[in-house]
C-alpha cells in the first residue's frame, strides 16, 4: 500500500493563511474549534505537513476531478473504474485505508493519476490525510464522546456515502491479496505513539480505539470472502 511519507512543521500562521482566514479562525464567536484551530488561536502558528513530490521529471499529475462528473455513491465508483485510469486494487486499497484512518476529505482533487512523457498512465502514492484521526475535533469534544466514532456522522468523500456502505462495492479478493492488516496496524500504532506527546493521552487513546475497531471490521469483511 503506497502511502506518501511526510514531516510536520510548525510555522507562523501568516505564512500560509490570508488576513481573512486569520480573522475567521481567530474569532471568539465560533463555538467549536478543531485542535489545530485552538493551536492557531493560542500560539499564532499552524502545523503543516511537508512531503516529497511524487511527480518525477517528465510526469504530470492529473486530478480525478478533471475527468469525473458530479455523480455520487456507487455510480461514481464505477465511473472511476470505467475511466480506465485507476487500477481497481489501488482504488479499493485507498478506500479501505481511508476507512481505517477515518479520512473524511478524499475529494476528487486528493487523488488522480500520473501521465509520463510517453502518455502512459501511472498510479501515485496516497497523499493528503490531514483530516484523519479525529483531527477536526478538539479534545473536549472527543472526551465527551461515548464511543469515539464521531466519523459515522460524516459522509465519506468522494462518494458521499458512509464508510461502511462503501465497503460493499470493493473487490474483496484484491484486498485479501494486497492488504496485510497486522503490519498496517503495527505501522499506524507506531506513528500514533510517536506523536503521543503532542496529541495527548485522550486523543491518542481515541485514535487507537478507532483504528482497532475499523481494522476489526475490515478483518471481518475479508474473512467473509474466504
Domain boundaries, the chain: 7-50, 52-223
Of 132, 107, 109, 102, nearest to 62 by C-alpha is: 109
Output the pTM of the full model. Answer: 0.80
> Do 12 and 39 touch, CB atoms closer than 8 A?
no
55-64, 121-130, 196-205, 213-222: which is most confident: 55-64
Query: Worst-scoring range by mean pLDDT, 67-76, 81-90, 118-127, 198-207?
Result: 198-207
Q: Give the confidence band of 109 by pLDDT, cuts at 50, 70, 90.
A: very high
Of 122, 130, 48, nearest to 85 by C-alpha is: 122
pLDDT on residue 103: 87
Provide long-range contacts, Cβ within 8 A and 24+ apart, for 85-91: 85/113, 85/121, 86/113, 86/123, 87/123, 88/171, 88/174, 89/171, 89/174, 89/175, 89/177, 89/178, 90/123
Query: How many whole angstroms separate alpha carbon 63 and alpha carbon 84?
Result: 14
Q: Give the confidence band of 173 by pLDDT, cuts at 50, 70, 90.
A: confident
pLDDT(221) > 90? no
Q: Give the confidence band of 182 by pLDDT, cuts at 50, 70, 90.
A: confident
Read off the pLDDT of each residue in 175-204 and give the average, rounded to a whole number.
80
pLDDT on residue 10: 72
pLDDT on residue 32: 46
Higher pLDDT, 48 or 67: 67
pLDDT(165) > 80? no
For domain 52-223, which CATH number applies: 1.10.1070.20, 3.90.740.10, 1.10.3720.10, 2.60.40.420? Answer: 1.10.1070.20
Amino acid at each position: 500500500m503506497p502511502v506518501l511519507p511526510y514531516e510536520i512543521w510548525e510555522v507562523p500562521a501568516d505564512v500560509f493563511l490570508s488576513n481573512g482566514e486569520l480573522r475567521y479562525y481567530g474569532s471568539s464567536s465560533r463555538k467549536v474549534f478543531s485542535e489545530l484551530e485552538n493551536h492557531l488561536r493560542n500560539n499564532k502558528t499552524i502545523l503543516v505537513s511537508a512531503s516529497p513530490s511524487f511527480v518525477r521529471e517528465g510526469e504530470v499529475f492529473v486530478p480525478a476531478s478533471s475527468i469525473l462528473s458530479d455523480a455520487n455513491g456507487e455510480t461514481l465508483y464505477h465511473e472511476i473504474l470505467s475511466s480506465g485510469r485507476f487500477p481497481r486494487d489501488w482504488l479499493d486499497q485507498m478506500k479501505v485505508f481511508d476507512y481505517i484512518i477515518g479520512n473524511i476529505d478524499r475529494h476528487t482533487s486528493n487523488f488522480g493519476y500520473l501521465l509520463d512523457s510517453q502518455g502512459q498512465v501511472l498510479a501515485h502514492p496516497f497523499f493528503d490525510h490531514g483530516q484523519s484521526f479525529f483531527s477536526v475535533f478538539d479534545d473536549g469534544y472527543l472526551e465527551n464522546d461515548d464511543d469515539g466514532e464521531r466519523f459515522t456522522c460524516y459522509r465519506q468523500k468522494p462518494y458521499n456515502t458512509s464508510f461502511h456502505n462503501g465497503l460493499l462495492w470493493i473487490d474483496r479478493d484484491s484486498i485479501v491479496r494486497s492488504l496485510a492488516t497486522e503490519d498496517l496496524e503495527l505501522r499506524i500504532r507506531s506513528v500514533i505513539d510517536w506523536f503521543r506527546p503532542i496529541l495527548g493521552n485522550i486523543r491518542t487513546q481515541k485514535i487507537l480505539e478507532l483504528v482497532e475497531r475499523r481494522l476489526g471490521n475490515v478483518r471481518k469483511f475479508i474473512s467473509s470472502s474466504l
